[in-house]
Amino acid sequence: MKGIFLSLLLALATFFIAGLAFNSQHSTLLAVIVFLVTLWTNEALPLGIVSLLPIILFPSLDIISTNATVANYSKSIIFLFLGGFMLAIATQKTNLHKYISNKLLTLFPNTPRGVLFSLAITSAFLSSLISNTTTALLLIPIAMFLTDEIKLKMRLVLAIAYGASIGGIVTPIGTPPNLILLGFMETSGIEAIPFVKWIILTAPLAFIMLLIIPFILSLGVQNMKFEVGINETDRKLTGEQRRLLYILFSLIVFLLVNSKIEPYYSGLGINEKGILLGYGLLMFLPKIGFLTWDDTKKIPYEIIFLFGAGFSIAAAFSSTGLAKEVATYLLALTDLPVVLLIILVASLITFTTEITSNTALISIALPIIYSLNQVANIDITLILFVATICASYAFMLPIATPPNAIAMSSGAVKVKDMARYGIFFNIIGIILITTVALVYWQYFL
């Protein structure tokens, strides 16, 4: 009850403070958002329950109607992620993730630096295929048993958490903010970024981050020794694992063939959401798939509801005009040189994400950033993309991203340790994202 009371108190304070600059409807919307974000943060209510509250609160407080709110819980982009969840469950059920992890672990020297690199890269690779939350949950228990050295164990856990965040941006299904951006682009009439093009854009950034972060984490522990425990039974592919690998490979080929590469190739024109959902449903086909209906209990429906809440918040910002009003206050930013504008947006999103859910933050930030396009001539797609990537590259505090929270829950990491490394990695991320945006992304988005 204390968490709920605190959420109400902060919401009321927000309403009265916001009333100094906004009208009553906008102030109410901001108060509801603070209420939801606080509940998400302090976990006074289950995540899924809080994520359904906009369906009750928005119509009751005359923000947007029930139908307008509920529609956001069934956006087509949600079914892309649903298909991804089904593939992830099949991967876990067949233990294919263990085979992939062990293969990657054997590619590096059996030293602290080698294992840190292998865990970070394994985490990043898996996070590009399944959610970074799932990846962190799968790999961190492995890291906890690799050594009894507290100092080294902490860095191994951080390597997995940070690797999951780094790899999560490589594909649209790796982390929720990516999907929220695609959903927002679809709603706003902006051409969505195709699956393969997204990978081409983000892979260089992830590669550079994976060179820097494990190296820094390895400083000071190189003299420590340990044996990496790898189960021999996980070194060989089973028949089920081989079949799933073929299916995943065919999915990658399908996505490649379907992707549009202007002006050279127009692609097949099939909606990628349908492809991912189709492959997810294929997991239930007898003698081909691996799942039964009982396996659907493992689908994290609370994350799907969270998407709906995020889209509802974005819709409320736009339909009430709050996004445009906030944008007018930020209009002065558009007079800045593009390099300063990108640095400012990257810094603001990265450090604000540290104190709130990256999913909730990006849901709020995207409509505000997009509204700047209505009052100034800027490359809005580039700015939206930068903001989305930065929402995943917050490394300081456990609340920032799910992998950070999972790392903290392991007991091997203290807040001061995460903050000490995280603030440095945040700055590195901002510099690299700005550089890549200016020299690469702006020419291809």
| Cis amide linkage into residue 263, ω under 30° from 0 | yes
**How far is residue 377's CA from residue 360's CA, in Å, rounded to a whole number?**
27
Can you give the pLDDT at residue 232? 55
Could you give the C-alpha distances from 359 to 65, 79, 238, 332, in angstroms and in order?
A: 23, 17, 37, 27
- The neighbouring-strand residues paired with 261 are 265
**How far is residue 37's CA from residue 346's CA, in Å, rounded to a whole number?**
21
Can you give the pLDDT at residue 423? 92
Can you give the pLDDT at residue 70? 92
Can you give the pLDDT at residue 308? 84
Can you give the pLDDT at residue 16? 93
Can you give the pLDDT at residue 235? 65
The structure's pTM equals: 0.71
Cβ atoms of residues 141 and 387 within 8 Å: no
The pLDDT averaged over each successive group of 10 residues in the chain (445 residues) is 89 91 90 86 82 93 92 82 82 79 70 89 85 76 77 92 94 85 86 88 96 93 62 71 89 74 62 84 90 87 80 83 75 75 90 76 84 70 94 86 81 85 95 95 87
Q: What is the dihedral of CA 235, 239, 242, 244, to 10 degrees?
A: -120
377 phi/psi in degrees, rounded to 5: -95, 90
**How far is residue 127's CA from residue 312's CA, in Å, rounded to a whole number?**
26
**How far is residue 435's CA from residue 380's CA, in Å, rounded to a whole number?**
17
Can you give the pLDDT at residue 42? 76
Which residues of 265-364 form beta strands (DSSP E)?
Answer: none
Can you give the pLDDT at residue 61? 92
